[in-house]
Amino acid sequence: MKKILILGGGISKEREISLETTKQVNNVLKKKYKTLVSEPNDNLIKKIKLFKPDVIFNALHGRFGEDGFIQTILEGQRIKYTHSGALSSFLAMDKILSKEIFLKNNILTPKFIKFSFKDKLNLKILIKKINKKLNFPVVIKPMNEGSSVDVYICSKKNFLANLKKLKKYREILIEKYIPGREIQAAILGNRKLGIIELKPKRKFYDYKAKYSSNAKTEHIIPVKLKKNQINKVLSIAMKAHKLLGCKGVTRSDFKFFKNKFYLLEINTQPGMTKLSLVPEIAAYKGINFLNLLEWILKDASINR
């Protein structure tokens, strides 16, 4: 029987989501495999040596779990692990680095400004810069958080008040707000798995819209787009997946506006909760949750 160590929890702001992903993954895998759930703490190496897993399923989300940090530790243990490797995880998690790569490779992404709270930039000058380069409304967000944590859509009127809320981060991203439809595309290795559309009842597809059933976000599948449009968005997702050197499963977030797809970001460790999108897309394509998890496990390797 295969032994699988499931890494979950962690110290990021997405801890609760990771615990939910871990729970769903473990509930399914423990029926067929010997599983052990572990936090990525000081006892991790000891647990790995005692349990001797065949594969480590990385169910962490956010910083220290999805940004290359834990991947570097796992590489050092020479045990197969799932999802993307250290470098691609780091690149995907850093919103500015990944956007620069997208732009250099002709992938459309919203215009942006990098802002550091260390800079003694006059806020009036910053607003002038935004007016010149982006125009309001804008989106402000941390450079390396996921799950729409601390993301705000700002008008000129509420910009400074929202900016203050992000002061705990050294650097943030100020991005041109793109209206339009929320489209998410899933890639499974070399396969363009499929897409799903989201219609949030909230202002945008924020943390609550993603993870609370009370938010009543509408999940639309199949998506009402032309075949060539579906092929296009999946091709962009695959191109981004390959450009960053991603492995396993990824989910790319797009806005579709005026017949153009804008890539917002790529997620190297998509959620596996009851409201998560990749399992939903997979199910629509005839891949049940166990089969999806087994594909991810089979894809695991060292030197990712």
**Rounded to whole angstroms, how far apart are CA atoms 30 and 36?**
9
User: For 284-289, which contacts have Cβ atoms below 8 Å and span 24 or more sequence positions?
Assistant: 284/194, 284/196, 284/221, 284/222, 285/193, 285/194, 289/24, 289/28
Catalytic residues: 14, 147, 211, 251, 253, 265, 267, 271
Question: What DSSP character marks residue 46?
Answer: H
CA–CA–CA angle 18, 20, 22 (5° rounding): 70
Q: Which residues contact 224 (CB under 8 A, 6 or more apart)?
A: 197
> Side chain identity at 301, as an amino acid letter?
S
Q: How far is CA 241 from CA 83, 102, 232, 286, 300, in A?
A: 12, 10, 14, 23, 16
Going by C-alpha positions, the residue among 94, 99, 173 that lies closest to residue 130 is: 173
Question: What DSSP character marks residue 33?
Answer: S
Three-state SS for 24?
helix
Going by C-alpha positions, the residue among 155, 149, 107, 119 that lies closest to residue 134 is: 155
**Rounded to whole angstroms, how far apart are CA atoms 56 and 4?**
6
CB 278 within 8 A of CB 269: no
